[in-house]
C-alpha cells in the first residue's frame, strides 16, 4: 500500500475539485491518504509567485475554468462571495481537529464544502460558527482555532511542504515524488500502478533540462 500526502489549502478551488476527484481517479488501487492543510500564500511567496488571483486576466480565467471544471466533473462548485480571502481561520479550524498535522477526509470535505458550495462568504461570522459546530466532535481536547496548537501545526505543515518541493496546491506527495494539480492525478495513478516510465530516468532527466533564460539578479 502506498501512502499519499495530500497538501491542500481551502482557498484553492482546484483543491476542492481534486478532493472530489481523487477516489474515482485512484479507484481499484491500494493507498492511504493524509490530508495536510498548508498556507498556499507562503508557498507562493517562497518563489515570488503572485498566484492566479494576482494577475487580473488569469484571475478571471481561473474562475471561469474552475466553474466549468466543476460542471464537467459533476462536482458542485460555486465561487464564494469574495475570492481570494484569508484562509487562516479555516486552516486553523481544521487543524484544531488534528494531533499531528493531518486531518481526516470528513474534516477536509466539511471545510471545502463550506467554501465551495452555495456561493457564500467563506469568512462570514455566522457561517464560521456553524462550521465550528459541524466539526465540534472532531476537535481535539483543549484545542480551538485560536489556540497555539493549530497555529504550530500549520506552520510545521507549510515548512515541511516547502522542504518537500511543494509550490502550490493541490499537491500529492508519495515516495519523495510530488504530483501537482488536478491534472496531475492521471500521472499519480500511473505511478501507483507501477508505470515503467518512472523507472527509466525520465523523471529526473526532464527536470534537469538547462534553462535558456539569463540568471536572476538581485
pLDDT tens digit sequence for 128-171? 999 999 999 999 998 888 899 999 999 999 999 999 999 999 99
Q: What is the pLDDT of residue 218?
A: 60
pLDDT tens digit sequence for 15-46? 999 999 999 999 999 999 999 999 999 999 99
57: exposed, middle or buried (Cβ count in 10 Å: 0-12, 13-18, 19+) = exposed
Whether the per-residue pLDDT at 98 is higher than 90: the answer is yes
CATH of domain 2-207: 3.40.30.10
Q: Residues 96, 147: contact at Cβ < 8 Å?
A: yes
pTM: 0.96
- 76: three-class secondary structure by DSSP: coil
Whether the per-residue pLDDT at 217 is higher than 80: the answer is no
Mean pLDDT of 178-206: 97
Residues 104, 110: Cα–Cα separation, whole Å? 10
| H or E element at residue 6 | strand 2-8
What percentage of the chain has pLDDT greater than the value 90? Answer: 94
Query: CB neighbours of 82 closer than 8 A, spacing ≥ 6?
Result: 121, 122, 123
Mean pLDDT of 200-216: 93
- Average model confidence (pLDDT) for the chain? 96
Whether the per-residue pLDDT at 6 is higher than 90: the answer is yes
Residues 22, 6: Cα–Cα separation, whole Å? 10
Q: What is the pLDDT of residue 146?
A: 85
Amino acid at each position: 500500500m502506498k501512502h499519499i500526502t495530500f497538501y491542500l489549502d481551502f482557498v484553492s478551488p482546484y483543491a476542492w475539485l481534486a478532493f472530489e476527484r481523487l477516489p474515482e481517479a485512484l479507484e481499484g488501487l491500494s493507498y492511504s491518504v493524509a490530508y495536510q492543510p498548508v498556507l498556499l500564500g507562503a508557498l507562493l511567496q517562497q518563489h515570488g509567485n503572485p498566484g492566479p488571483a494576482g494577475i487580473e486576466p488569469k484571475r478571471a480565467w481561473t474562475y471561469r475554468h474552475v466553474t466549468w471544471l466543476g460542471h464537467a466533473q459533476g462536482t458542485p462548485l460555486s465561487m464564494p462571495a469574495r475570492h481570494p480571502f484569508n484562509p487562516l481561520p479555516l486552516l486553523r479550524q481544521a487543524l484544531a481537529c488534528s494531533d499531528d498535522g493531518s486531518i481526516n477526509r470528513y474534516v477536509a470535505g466539511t471545510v471545502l464544502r463550506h467554501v465551495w458550495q452555495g456561493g457564500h462568504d467563506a469568512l462570514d461570522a455566522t457561517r464560521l460558527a456553524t462550521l465550528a459546530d459541524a466539526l465540534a466532535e472532531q476537535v481535539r481536547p483543549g484545542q480551538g482555532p485560536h489556540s497555539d496548537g493549530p497555529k504550530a501545526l500549520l506552520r510545521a505543515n507549510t515548512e515541511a511542504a516547502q522542504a518537500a518541493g511543494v509550490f502550490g496546491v493541490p499537491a500529492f506527495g508519495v515516495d519523495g515524488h510530488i504530483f501537482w494539480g488536478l491534472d496531475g492525478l492521471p500521472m499519480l495513478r500511473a505511478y501507483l500502478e507501477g508505470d515503467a516510465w518512472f523507472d527509466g530516468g525520465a523523471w529526473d532527466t526532464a527536470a534537469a533540462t538547462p534553462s535558456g533564460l539569463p540568471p536572476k539578479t538581485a
